[in-house]
């Protein structure tokens, strides 16, 4: 993600919080109650986002891990092909 994307995301979250607060005020909540609920909703969203990240880390389903897994598989496949070529057998026995 580029720096400008982070700035746009931050601005969108700031505006989203103000809109959420305004909507809660329109629905009749007091200033304090609307602020608490807006903050609670954003906090729960942040906790959920962090939980998805931790789930991906625990499951080793990160981009780096996937790239390393693909790299190792391609290296092993190339070694198999080289060994089969050296032995004079076909590369794909199927």
Mean local confidence (pLDDT), 28-49: 95
Convert the pLDDT of each residue in 45-92 to its tens digit.
Answer: 999 999 998 988 888 777 887 888 889 999 999 999 988 888 876 655
Chain Cα centroid distance, residue 3:
17
Which residue carries 């903050």 as its tokens? 39
Does this model's pTM top 0.75? My answer is no
pLDDT > 60? residue 32: yes
Nearby residues of 84 by Cβ (< 8 Å), 6 or more positions away:
90, 91
CA distance 44 to 38: 10
């Amino acid at each position: 993600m580029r720096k400008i994307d982070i700035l746009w995301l931050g601005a969108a979250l700031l505006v989203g919080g103000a809109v959420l607060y305004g909507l809660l005020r329109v629905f009749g909540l007091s200033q304090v109650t609307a602020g608490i609920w807006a903050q609670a909703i954003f906090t729960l969203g942040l906790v959920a986002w962090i939980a998805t990240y931790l789930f991906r880390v625990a499951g080793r389903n990160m981009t780096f891990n996937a790239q390393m897994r693909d790299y190792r598989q391609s290296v092993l496949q190339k070694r198999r092909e080289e060994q089969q070529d050296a032995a004079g057998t076909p590369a794909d026995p199927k």
